[in-house]
Chains A and B, each alone.
Chain A
Amino acid sequence: MDTGTNIIEIHDLTKKFGQITAVDSISFRVYKGEIFGFLGPNGAGKTTTISMICTLLKPTSGRATVNGYDTLKQRRQVQRVIGLVFQDPTLDDYLTAEQNLLFHAYAYGVPRGEREKRLDQLLELVELSDRRKSKVSTYSGGMKRRLEIARGLLHHPQILFLDEPTLGLDPQTRYHVWEYIHVLRKQEELTIFMTTHYMDEAENCDRIAVIDQGKIVALDTPDNLKDSMGGDVVILEAEDSPKAMLELKEKYNLSPELQDKTITFCVPHGETFLPEFMRSFQSKVVSINIHRPTLDDVFLKLTGRAIRDQEAAPWAQFRMMMRH
């Protein structure tokens, strides 16, 4: 990975839909050749940000450059170097897989001599060669997603955007899609920019930007993000939560957080801390659990909420409407 070159640069990018600020003055860079992840709950502004970088939405303010091209002033140059796989299918169901790919090849001006070879090669890669003459309406969800990935790569993009690439897929297909992504990155020397709200998928990224309510709250490698927790995560349930909280703060000098009935805190060395703790802790413990920090914990710490039990933010539905 060449950390010296920025393939995407974002400066103070903001998008407002009426009174609602979907993306709030964010700035970041994506390095050439990395897998860059955008992690956040539904409605956090992930798709809106991607749409602005991909020229589909005009920013309210701020600017974005892709491969040195300005997304507003040099729209076509930007469009040529990016490939996209959206959350929702964007294939023509009434055409065959081959016809969908050919449309894309024509639209991007893929040279005639290269077209057939590239089609064969990509259909091979996503294992759809035997179904190339079938109408897309006969495809399963996973097959469609694979076809979209193949299509997104047809014109040799330098950056592949994957907006929730595995949303709605079964675990097996999800695993396959990830296999493709890793193979592709090697074969095509791609930079991959993806969004996800699956914590385990975010682990595949080189760097992750955690986004919440339109703002980037952290940006680092998954390991660094987890290290920033300061050790192992202890989740504790006590009979009297307030009393336990107080004891943890005063006696152990920890900074626990209370959500519903569970108390969460971090300690540097969990395995040696726990036996000693169980002996000396006065409050009555109902259950205790200790684990290495996950991105879920990171998200909880950064935003005070767990990603999985997020209700979609109020503007998420509005944004869904705007997207089409």
Chain B
Amino acid sequence: MPEQAIKNKTAIAGIGWTAFSKASGTTVANLAAEASLNAIHDAGLTPRDIDGIVTYYYGTDSFDVRELAPILGIDRCNFDLFCGLGGGWACGAVAAAAMAVFAGVCRNVLVYRAMNGRSERRPRNPDAHAARGVKQWTIPSGVNHAADVFGVPVVAHMARYGTTTVDFAHLAVMQRRHAGLNKKAMMRAPITVEEHQASPWITYPFRLLDCCLQTDGAAAIVVTSAERARDLRHKPVYISSVMGGSVAGEHPWEVNAHKAAAPLYAGAGITPGDVDLAELYDPFTGMCLLHMEGFGLAPRGEVGAWVRAGGNALDGETPVNTHGGLLSEGYIQGLNHVVEAVQQLRPGGVLDDFCEGAHDYDRAHCRQVKDPHVALVCGECGDTSLILTSD
């Protein structure tokens, strides 16, 4: 498989976020604007430098992408995209922005994800008439929740390979430990394997501590050309390979990640062994395990043991979800994973751990990974994914 023509031709030049909370007390539009302005200013740009806008949503949890330009005073837009594929598309949004820049359609593309995901939760009773189309096959049997869908490949993996809920517990505990080193994380108090195992079932195979948070907040990034990025405020984080589509897994215990991994790595001219850290979509612990395995961080079928041995720790073989992820940092549907990867790859490293001064890698206060240059990021099921790199 060939390297992608887009390899290292575009870069993430700015990142921004809002506070992550249970009740923002403001509108989704204001959250989007705040994170976007933070990202634009972080890049050393102004809103009028932006000429493309991309976002994604699920159901009715966002506002139309075209509402943001007038709020920010953006007076021309060459490309916009409002994709309804939800968390699967977290990296697709970045890929679309990169392609618009690479094609010369746009100079600087803003990507944001904003929601009042906790305070404006949708009513729990689904529309009685919703059992049409593909949902006529699921809703009549009581499939109403993401766990009812994403638990399925996980239970198949448990049966195929002997993965257990104790493996899930080790993942949850590790990500909480990472979140404890992250000032913006919603959940920082340590948890134990025993507490995980004692937490109530939500949908088997997932207990309460297997499930991601619900969050009010926003994250944003600015994508520009590699050439322009080199003249901006921060050293560029290059977009080295992108994948942005999805098909079903080959086996019931596999997801799109298992198919996307090879072309993603080939696109950047690397192998899984080159990955220094990974920020992988983690709506439920078990899904994150499938992503780790699908992208080759752990041997096929051995991801449970890999996590129990701490392969995903900040000083492990490949640190995963160094910010705490959707499980413990917040549910910004995966764009917070992109932000974390960029922070980790910048020369100065993460800004919002508890280090005072330079990073010293003391895990009592420092969450910076040691000298990373290659990051893997993926959305739900590995439907979309990125390789990001720094010099």
Please indicate whether A and B come from the same complex rather than being unrelated chains: no
